[in-house]
Amino acid sequence: DTEVTQTPKHLVMGMTNKKSLKCEQHMGHRAMYWYKQKAKKPPELMFVYSYEKLSINESVPSRFSPECPNSSLLNLHLHALQPEDSALYLCASRGASGGNEQFFGPGTRLTVL
């Protein structure tokens, strides 16, 4: 089973709202990732969590706040976003042993009005 789930599938929010994206995997993977993908562009890495610790922050603005409550769950808290933050937000996870393959969830399509 290589399933990563993400909720919600779609999210529309105003610039003053606070919302959260959720990602879950039950494969025992110990590394989890947030990516942002704009239309007709490749995914861009935002954050990496390894063993529930934030390991990489790719200079992401503080209006994006990641959280890893446990080894299966990853959240992305959103606050005071801008219209240019509208994108597909992808979560991925990677196994701790064996291969280095990253598996993506279905993504959350975010629209900021």
Which CB sits closer to other proteins, 72 or 95? 95
Beta carbon of residue 112, minimum distance to other proteins (angstroms, whole number): 18
By CB under 8 A, tell whether 60 contacts other proteins. no
The binder of other proteins chosen from 17, 50, 65, 72 (CB under 8 A) = 50
d(CA 5, CA 49): 17
What letter does residue 102 receive in the DSSP assignment?
E
Tokens found for residue 75: 């959240």
43, 46, 68, 112: residue in contact with other proteins (rule CB under 8 A): 43
By the criterion CB under 8 A, which residues form the site for other proteins? 2, 31, 41-45, 48, 50, 55-56, 88, 90, 94, 99-107
